[in-house]
C-alpha cells in the first residue's frame, strides 16, 4: 500500500468512495463538474471544480448526483440543508470560505439549529467542503481562514486536515456523520503527495493527533501550521528542547483531553492558528487551558496567529501575514528560557 | 386534482375553525402573560393554509414562516403538542425548545415555522430536489409573506427551483404589510405574482379570502408540480386580523379603502355561507364542526397548562445527533 497520492486526490477519492457506498450522497456546487447542459460535453465535466478537486466524478456518477449550481450560494447551500433535513446526504462545495457571507443564514440560523429547535426530530447529515488559507496570492477575499467563525456555532462540527491521509478519512467520517460538518481544505496543500490507503476508512472527528511526543513544550497546530511546528520542533531539538506537537484536526468540538494531558506533562503551550488573532480557535484553547490547566502551567500561553488585518496581495506582505517558523521559534525561546537556565 | 367535495370541505372547515380558535385563544392568553416571547398570529389568513394543504399528504413537505401556526394546523400537526410548545412545555412538539416561531413536525412533512423572514425558500428547494432525486411525485409548498419576497433568498430559491424544474409551489401570503411597512412601498413590482415572468414560470394572483379560489389554483399548481412541470408562484391577497406580533398597536393600518374591505371580510364566514349554499356542508354539520373545534382548542390549552416544564438537562440535549 505504498501508493502516494495528493491531498486533492485523497479528497476526491473520499467523495468517490462515499458516493459508491451510499446513493443518498450527492454533490452540489459551482462548476464542480462544469459545462452543464453543453451538448458536446454531455456527462463530461468542463472543470471538475475550480481547483479540480471533483474531477472525474460527474463522468462516473452523472449530472443527477454531481450537480452544477448557478453562482447562488445562499440558494444551493440552503437547498443542501433542506435536502439533508429530508433524507439525502449532500456534500456542497463552497468554492472559497470567504464566500460564507452569502450563505451564512442557511448554516447559522437554519441548519445548525434545526435539530435543537425541533426537539431532536431533525437530522442534518450535511458536509460542506470549502477551501481556506493564505499563500496563493489570492488576496483578501479568497485567502481567509474562517474555521473558527463556523466552529463557534453550536450544532456545527469543523475539521481542518493537515495531510492527505487525514483528509480522506475525515471526509468519509464527515459524510457518515448525521450533523453539519464543515470540511476545510487548505488550498496550498492540494499538491502535497503522501501515502494514502486505497480502501475506504474513516478518521475520528473530535480527536487531536500527537504528531511528535515531547516533554518540554506543547505546540498545538491547525491545518498546515503543523509543518511550521514540526520545523520549529526540529530546530529546538538541537538545543536539547523536547517539543510535543499536536495537530488539532478538529476545530469544533476540539479535543480538550489530549491538549490538557500534554500541558500536564510539558507545562508550556504555544498554539499556532492562521486565523485572525481575536475570538479564534487559538484564543479559545488558551482560555480553556488557562482555566482547567492553570496548575500545570510554568509560563504564559502563547498564541501565534495571523495579524488583525485582511490577507494582503503583495507576496512579501502575504508571507509576513502567515505565522512562520521564525516567529514561533522566537516565542518558544522566551518560553523555555527558565528551562535552559536550570 | 381532487375536486372540492363534501369530505374535503368538512376537513377544510374544521381546520379553518381550529386555526381561528387557536389564534384567538393564544391572543387572549398572551395578553394575560401566560405565554412568553414573540407570537405572530395567523388569524384572518385561514383560507390560504387550508386551501393549499387540502391537496397535500404527510409525504408532501411544507416550509413555513414566523406566522406559522396556521400552516402547522393545516398540515396536521397535533393541537395539544402545538399549544404546549407555545407555552414552553416539555410535551410540546419541539419539547418546548422551539416555541411559536419554530414549531415543526418532520414526520408530518412540516419542515418548520421559521424565524428568519425568507428562510424557507432554499430549504423548500432542497426538499424539492430530494423529491425529484428520489423520483417521488411528492411536492413541497413554500409559504412566504409579501415581506419575504424582497429577500435575496426569494430570487435564489425560485431561480433554482425553476432551472431544475423542481416540484415546489411558492405561496405568497400578501397581507399588505411587512411588519409595519406597506408592500406597495417595499416592492418595485406591483404584484409578487408578476415576478414569475422573470423565472419563466406561472405566477398567479388570487383572492386569498376566497377558499374556493385558493383551493382551485393551488390544486392546479400542485398537479403541475407532481407531473414534473416545475414550480409556480401563487400570490394570495389576504389580511391578518391581528398585528405583526402580539402587542403591535397597528398604527399603520388605514381605517378605509382596500384595508377596510379586506378587514371586513372573514374568509371562514364566507366559506361557511358558500359551502352551505352549494350543499357541501349542512348548517348542522357546520355548527357541529365549530362546536367541536372550540372544545379541541380548550382541551389543547388545558393540556398545555397541565404539562410539565422541560427538565433542566434538556438545555444540553439535541444540539448534535449521535
pLDDT at position B1 is 67
A76 contacts B160 by C-beta, under 8 angstroms: yes
In this structure, is residue A227 part of a structural domain?
Answer: yes
Is the CB of A81 inside 8 Å of chain B's CB atoms? yes
pTM: 0.96
Is the CB of A179 inside 8 Å of chain B's CB atoms? yes
Number of domains composing chain A? 2
Same domain, A31 and A175: yes
Range B32-52 average pLDDT: 95
Q: What is the pLDDT of residues B14-31, one digit of tens each?
A: 999 999 999 999 999 999
pLDDT at position B249 is 87
Same domain, A138 and A219: no
Same domain, A135 and A190: yes
In this structure, is residue B241 part of a structural domain?
Answer: yes
pLDDT at position A235 is 95
Q: Which domain holds residue B210?
A: 6-304
Write out residues in chain A with pLDDT < 70, as ranges: 1, 340-342
Per-residue b or e along A35-64, where b marks 16 or more CB atoms closer than 10 Å to that residue's CB: bbeeeeeeeebebbbbbebbbbbbeebebe
A142 catalytic residue (yes or no): yes
Q: What is the pLDDT of residues B119-174, one digit of tens each?
A: 999 999 999 999 999 999 999 999 999 999 999 999 999 999 999 999 999 999 99
In this structure, is residue B314 part of a structural domain?
Answer: no
Q: Are the beta carbons of B122 and A77 separated by less than 8 Å?
A: yes
In this structure, is residue A203 part of a structural domain?
Answer: no
In this structure, is residue B157 part of a structural domain?
Answer: yes
Same domain, A106 and A144: yes
pLDDT at position A275 is 98
In this structure, is residue B79 part of a structural domain?
Answer: yes
In this structure, is residue B188 part of a structural domain?
Answer: yes
Range B297-305 average pLDDT: 98
Give the domain CATH number at A55: 3.40.50.970
In this structure, is residue B311 part of a structural domain?
Answer: no
Same domain, A166 and A286: no
In this structure, is residue A77 part of a structural domain?
Answer: yes
Same domain, A109 and A138: yes
Same domain, A40 and A189: yes
Same domain, A269 and A336: yes
Sort out which chain A residues have CB atoms less than 8 A from B129's CB and list them: 79, 82-83, 88
Q: How confident is the model at residue B262 (pLDDT cuts 50, 70, 90)?
A: confident
Q: What is the pLDDT of residues B164-213, one digit of tens each?
A: 999 999 999 999 999 999 999 999 999 999 999 999 999 999 999 999 99
Number of domains composing chain B? 1
Q: Which domain holds residue A337?
A: 209-341
Q: From the CA of A327, how many Å to the nearest CA of chain B?
A: 38
Q: Are the beta carbons of A110 and B116 separated by less than 8 Å?
A: yes
In this structure, is residue A47 part of a structural domain?
Answer: yes
In this structure, is residue B1 part of a structural domain?
Answer: no
Same domain, A287 and A183: no
In this structure, is residue A65 part of a structural domain?
Answer: yes
Q: Are the beta carbons of B321 and A118 separated by less than 8 Å?
A: no
CB pairs under 8 A between A and B: 141
Average pLDDT, whole number, for chain B? 96
Same domain, A182 and A325: no
Q: What is the pLDDT of residues B216-231, one digit of tens each?
A: 999 999 999 999 999 9
In this structure, is residue A99 part of a structural domain?
Answer: yes
Same domain, A26 and A162: yes
Pick from A80, A116, A155: CB nearest B126: A80
Give the domain CATH number at B34: 3.40.50.970
Same domain, A127 and A233: no
Give the domain CATH number at A240: 3.40.50.920
In this structure, is residue A202 part of a structural domain?
Answer: no
Amino acid at each position: 500500500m505504498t501508493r502516494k497520492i495528493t491531498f486533492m486526490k485523497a479528497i476526491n477519492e473520499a467523495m468517490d468512495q462515499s458516493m459508491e457506498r451510499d446513493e443518498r450522497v450527492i454533490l452540489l456546487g459551482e462548476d464542480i463538474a462544469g459545462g452543464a447542459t453543453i451538448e458536446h460535453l454531455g456527462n463530461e465535466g468542463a472543470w471538475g471544480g475550480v481547483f479540480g478537486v471533483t474531477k472525474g466524478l460527474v463522468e462516473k456518477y452523472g449530472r443527477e448526483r454531481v450537480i452544477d449550481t448557478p453562482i447562488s450560494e445562499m440558494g444551493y447551500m440552503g437547498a443542501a440543508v433542506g435536502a439533508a433535513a429530508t433524507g439525502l446526504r449532500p456534500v456542497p462545495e463552497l468554492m472559497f470560505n470567504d464566500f460564507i457571507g452569502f450563505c451564512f443564514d442557511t448554516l447559522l440560523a437554519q441548519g445548525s439549529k434545526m435539530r435543537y429547535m425541533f426537539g431532536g426530530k431533525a437530522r442534518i447529515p450535511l458536509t460542506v467542503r470549502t477551501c481556506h488559507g493564505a499563500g496563493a496570492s489570492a488576496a483578501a477575499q479568497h485567502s481567509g481562514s474562517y474555521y473558527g467563525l463556523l466552529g463557534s456555532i453550536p450544532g456545527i462540527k469543523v475539521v481542518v486536515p493537515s495531510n492527505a491521509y487525514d483528509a480522506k478519512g475525515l471526509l468519509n467520517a464527515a459524510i457518515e456523520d448525521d450533523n453539519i460538518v464543515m470540511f476545510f481544505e487548505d488550498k496550498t496543500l492540494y499538491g502535497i503527495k503522501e501515502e494514502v490507503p486505497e480502501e475506504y476508512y474513516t478518521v475520528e472527528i473530535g480527536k487531536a493527533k500527537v504528531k511528535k511526543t515531547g516533554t518540554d513544550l506543547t505546540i498545538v497546530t491547525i491545518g498546515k501550521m503543523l509543518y511550521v511546528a514540526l520545523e520549529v520542533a526540529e530546530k529546538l531539538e538541537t538545543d536539547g528542547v523536547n517539543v510535543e506537537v499536536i495537530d488539532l484536526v478538529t476545530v469544533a468540538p476540539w479535543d480538550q483531553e489530549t491538549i490538557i494531558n500534554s500541558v500536564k506533562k510539558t507545562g508550556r503551550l504555544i498554539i499556532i492558528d492562521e486565523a485572525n488573532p481575536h475570538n479564534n480557535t487559538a484564543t479559545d484553547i488558551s482560555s480553556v487551558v488557562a482555566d482547567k490547566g492553570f496548575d500545570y502551567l510554568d509560563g504564559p500561553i502563547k498564541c501565534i496567529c495571523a495579524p488583525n488585518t485582511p490577507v494582503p496581495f503583495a507576496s512579501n506582505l502575504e508571507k509576513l501575514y502567515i505565522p512562520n517558523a521564525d516567529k514561533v521559534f522566537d516565542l518558544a525561546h522566551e518560553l523555555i528560557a527558565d528551562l535552559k537556565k536550570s | 386534482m381532487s375536486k372540492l367535495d363534501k369530505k374535503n370541505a368538512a376537513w377544510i372547515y374544521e381546520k379553518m375553525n381550529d386555526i381561528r380558535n387557536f389564534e384567538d385563544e393564544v391572543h387572549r392568553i398572551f395578553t394575560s402573560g401566560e405565554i412568553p416571547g414573540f407570537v405572530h398570529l395567523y388569524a384572518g389568513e385561514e383560507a390560504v393554509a387550508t386551501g393549499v394543504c387540502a391537496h397535500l399528504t404527510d409525504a408532501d413537505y411544507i416550509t413555513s414562516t414566523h406566522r406559522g401556526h396556521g400552516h402547522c394546523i393545516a398540515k396536521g400537526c397535533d393541537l395539544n403538542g402545538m399549544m404546549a410548545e407555545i407555552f414552553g412545555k416539555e410535551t410540546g412538539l419541539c419539547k418546548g425548545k422551539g416555541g411559536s416561531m419554530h414549531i415543526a413536525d418532520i414526520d408530518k412533512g412540516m419542515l418548520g415555522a421559521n424565524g428568519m423572514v425568507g428562510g424557507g425558500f432554499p430549504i423548500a428547494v432542497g426538499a424539492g430536489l430530494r423529491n425529484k432525486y428520489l423520483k417521488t411525485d411528492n411536492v413541497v409548498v413554500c409559504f412566504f409573506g409579501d415581506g419575504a419576497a424582497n429577500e435575496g433568498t426569494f430570487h435564489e430559491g425560485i431561480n433554482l427551483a425553476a432551472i431544475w424544474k423542481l416540484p415546489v409551489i411558492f405561496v405568497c401570503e400578501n397581507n399588505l404589510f411587512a411588519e409595519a411597512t406597506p408592500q406597495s412601498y417595499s416592492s418595485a413590482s406591483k404584484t409578487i405574482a408578476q415576478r414569475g415572468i422573470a423565472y419563466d414560470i406561472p405566477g398567479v394572483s388570487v383572492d386569498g379570502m376566497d377558499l374556493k379560489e385558493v383551493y382551485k389554483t393551488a390544486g392546479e399548481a400542485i398537479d403541475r408540480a407532481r407531473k414534473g412541470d416545475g414550480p409556480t408562484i401563487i400570490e394570495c391577497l389576504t389580511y391578518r386580523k391581528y398585528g405583526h406580533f402580539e402587542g403591535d398597536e397597528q398604527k399603520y393600518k388605514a381605517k378605509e379603502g382596500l384595508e377596510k374591505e379586506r378587514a371586513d371580510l372573514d374568509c371562514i364566514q364566507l366559506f361557511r355561507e358558500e359551502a352551505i349554499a352549494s350543499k357541501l356542508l349542512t348548517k348542522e354539520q357546520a355548527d357541529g364542526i365549530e362546536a367541536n373545534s372550540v372544545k379541541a382548542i380548550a382541551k389543547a390549552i388545558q393540556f398545555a397548562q397541565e404539562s410539565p416544564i422541560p427538565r433542566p438537562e434538556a438545555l444540553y440535549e439535541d444540539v448534535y445527533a449521535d
